[in-house]
Amino acid sequence: MDIINDIELTEYFSLYEFECPCCRRVMLSPDLLARIDHLRRVINRPIYVNSGYRCKEENHRAGGVSGSYHLLGMAVDIHVKDFLLYDLLL
């Protein structure tokens, strides 16, 4: 499979991780990228992006609300194996 968004953004993240799964378009807030990259450094574990940018069709399929920040590239759903983000509060 050809990865059209195979562009390294930071040491830990590439653009394709944030692309819409249906149309492969990407919008990504620089502030969001900086924050998720900072989180990756703090927890020192890989962060996996479940959902980044979503076009309107994909947002509807995913059950997102009409004003979702995913539509603007300002939201990301993530998971970290064997780590609860709640642990950051401790």
Structural domain that includes position 27: 15-89
61 pLDDT band, cuts 50/70/90, is very high
67 pLDDT band, cuts 50/70/90, is very high
In a domain, 9, yes or no: no
In a domain, 8, yes or no: no
Q: Domain with 69 in it: what CATH number?
A: 3.30.1380.10
pTM: 0.87
Residue located via tokens 């642990």: 87
In a domain, 3, yes or no: no
Residue 48 Cα distances to 12, 56, 77, angstroms: 10, 22, 9
In a domain, 25, yes or no: yes
In a domain, 10, yes or no: no
User: What pLDDT was estimated at residue 90?
Assistant: 62
In a domain, 33, yes or no: yes
- The total of structural domains in the chain comes to 1
Work out the percent of the chain whose per-residue pLDDT is above 70.
96
